[in-house]
Structure 1
Amino acid sequence: MPRTLAILSCLLCVFVSAPVAAKEPVFDVHVHLREGEASLREYRADVAKSDLELSGAAVMWFGGPHQALQGELDKIRAGNDSVIALAAKHPELVPVATVHPYDGQAALDELTRVARQGVKMLKIHPHTQKFDAADPRTLALVRHAGTLGLIVLMDNANILPGDSERLFNLAIQAPKTKFIFAHIGGMNFRFWNMLALARTAQDFFADNIYFDISATAVLAADSPIEPEFVWTLRNVGIGQVLLGSDYPQLGLGRAVDALERLDLTAEEKAKIRSGNARKLFGR
């Protein structure tokens, strides 16, 4: 008995003294910082509450009460400049610009201007900006983004009927542009399982679609639909899946907690937490 206690005591000492493994950094691809530095301070405080290490964040100035509507050229330019300046001061941030597709050549010119200043991502939102993803002006814009090397982030919460179908058709018509579809279709995520079949059609699908799972993962984790959600993530390709919070609507802590509760392997979770984003953004 004394010998057994001694062995247990030694094991306990080793366990207690062993260093705690560092948590893997998180890359958040969906962050709204509507008030610049003030919003960034609040975001960092929110991240710190969850004891997370942030490796990067793609940040945008518009969303919620701050919209970028057709014809608001000066407001859009000023907003883009503000997020570019913020990212210049904080290298972990990826600046996300916006334009309105219906502003035609002015939108293309603004996209060219921000790309020259190092912007790597464009965010446009059919529902809140009041445009049709199937409009030829939208196609012209996203094709131009592709020629500039910009990734196009678009809302895909399936708020509008036919949302996912329109976005898929857009990506098919702009094969040289990389897209991130936010929220992976919301409760219509099942639609995207068809990508597993699209990949089998020769010279049809350029495999240029990525997804952020912001909000939808929070709903799916530990729910009756979780097995289908995980099945969908694997069908679209774990390498195409990115973590997003949609801050300030939802915090990064909730997004990471939801990811951890999904029935995925540790390797799959690591790719989604940061690996895929770092590869996509060249970081």
Structure 2
Amino acid sequence: MPRLLFFLLILLTGGAAASGPVFDVHVHIRNGEASLRDYLADVESSGVELSGLGAMWFGGPHQARQGELDAIRTGNDSIIALAKAHPRVVPIATVHPYDEAAAITELERVAAAGVRVLKLHAHTQGFDVSDPRVETLVRRAGELDMVVLTDNANILPGDSEKLFNLVLRVPGTKFILAHIGGMNFRYWNIVALARTADGFAMDNLYFDISGPLLLVPGSPIEDEFVWTLRNVGIDHVLLGSDYPQMGLGAAVDALERLDLTGAEKEKIRRGNAARLFGL
């Protein structure tokens, strides 16, 4: 093969390595420095240029359950310490909404320590998104200039509908809905219609596309997925891996395969996260 043609093929098929810097908004760092080293090694082996990551301590076998105040505080402190030692790490803390005043106190404590993101997961933490205690918590998070990252994989009935209403009721808080509704991502096209009504800008709503992104390229639903991303607004779409369940390299490669413009992909890879988190 002629050398020029060889290098052209590399440029055209370079995948993750050729796509530019990436901010991974959804990373589970369950065992501190050891987990972070494993994650960074996985990213390096994929050829991704990592600009930063949003790291949380809970997920899978490590959960933040109601009443476990000391364990939640310890977990939050571990991720705060990790972020102080590693500038690329954006710390993500958690509380349980049903702990009420104690949850608010912990939220205020981590915010004072520099945490800008609160993670909630209704399914694994065992709470109802429509419970008034959830609204109280996320409203306070917005007052503290914190972004709320919450699961939206449609594991629970009414997941997307309840989150839609929560986002509307608390316009002062920015929300990132992880997994953009899972394989029910079509629901979120309603945002385009909602924004035609007075007072329904929903500028506080963002989506992390980890998970379903891996299934879409080359599938019968690829065009619908791209259509959905444009309907919710490319400026409101973020890239996440959900590591260690899924790797960042696979997510970046899947994004590169979608029929989006280069400018759109750059926003999703890093630009939107940089703007949202003030990086």
Settle same-fold status: TM greater than 0.5.
yes
**2:48 match: secondary structure:** coil
Runs of 4+ in 1 over 6 A off after TM superposition: 19-22
Aligned to 2:266: 270
Kindly indicate whether residue 20 of structure 2 is the aligned counterpart of residue 24 of structure 1. yes
Aligned to 1:170: 166
Of residues 122, 126, 131, the one that matches 1:130 is 126
**8 A Cα contact 1:199 1:207, kept in partner:** no
Matches within 5 A, 1:32-111: 32-111=28-107
**8 A Cα contact 1:157 1:183, kept in partner:** yes
Change (3 A) 1:76 1:12: closer
**8 A Cα contact 1:172 1:205, kept in partner:** no
Matches within 5 A, 1:153-164: 153-164=149-160
Kindly indicate whether residue 139 of structure 2 is the aligned counterpart of residue 143 of structure 1. yes
1:213-247, Cα deviation, whole Å (9 max, x unpaired): 00110011111111100000000000000000000
**8 A Cα contact 1:172 1:204, kept in partner:** yes
Question: Which whole-Å CA distance do the structure 1 matches of 2:224 and 2:50 have between them?
Answer: 29
**1:58 match: secondary structure:** strand
Work out the percentage of aligned pairs sharing the same amino acid: 69
Aligned to 1:224: 220
Question: Which whole-Å CA distance do the structure 2 matches of 1:34 and 1:192 have between them?
Answer: 31
Kindly indicate whether residue 246 of structure 2 is the aligned counterpart of residue 250 of structure 1. yes
Any unmatched runs of 5+ in structure 1? 1-8
Question: Which whole-Å CA distance do the structure 2 matches of 1:143 and 1:192 have between them?
Answer: 22
Of residues 194, 200, 210, the one that matches 2:196 is 200
TM-score by length of 2: 0.94
Any unmatched runs of 5+ in structure 2? none
> How far off is 1:43 after superposition?
0.1
Q: Which amino acid letter does the alignment assign opposite residue 82 of structure 1?
A: S
> How far off is 1:205 after superposition?
3.8
1:70-129, Cα deviation, whole Å (9 max, x unpaired): 000000000000000000000000000000000000000000000000000000000000
> How far off is 1:12 after superposition?
4.8
Q: Which amino acid letter does the alignment assign opposite residue 177 of structure 1?
A: T
Kindly indicate whether residue 242 of structure 2 is the aligned counterpart of residue 236 of structure 1. no
Kindly indicate whether residue 215 of structure 2 is the aligned counterpart of residue 215 of structure 1. no
Question: Which whole-Å CA distance do the structure 1 matches of 2:4 and 2:204 have between them?
Answer: 50
> How far off is 1:204 after superposition?
3.0
Q: Which amino acid letter does the alignment assign opposite residue 248 of structure 2?
A: L
RMSD, aligned CA: 1.8
